[in-house]
Amino acid sequence: MTKSDLIREIAAKTETSRQEAEVAVNTILDTMSTSLEQGNRVELRGFGSFGTKGRRARDGRNPKTGAQVQVDAKRVVFFKAGKELRERVDV
């Protein structure tokens, strides 16, 4: 499912315009992104939680040339599915 599919579904189920549904989806995603940027965790009960983890700097390898490269430390986003979602997916 793409973002536009989600917008279309929300507009149909809530009987609102596509523009209103798009504003709602964008607001939710922007709020979640801002919260993650600030290092907070985002939890959607029954669906799952988003968080960030720190990765330390390390030596990597360029797969094309095989040369050693330095990979900087960074934060990455992770998702952990909630119990209800795991049960629905595991048919």
Please state the rounded mean pLDDT for residues 11-32.
96
Closest by CA to 53, choosing from 38, 25, 75, is 75
pLDDT score of 42: 97
**Is 87's pLDDT higher than 90?**
yes
pLDDT score of 4: 96
pLDDT tens-digit series, residues 29-80: 999 999 999 999 999 999 999 999 999 999 999 999 999 999 999 999 999 9
**Is 91's pLDDT higher than 90?**
no
Q: Which residues contact 80 (CB under 8 A, 6 or more apart)?
A: 48, 49, 51
Rounded to an integer, what distance in angstroms lies between the CA atom of residue 57 and that of residue 72? 5
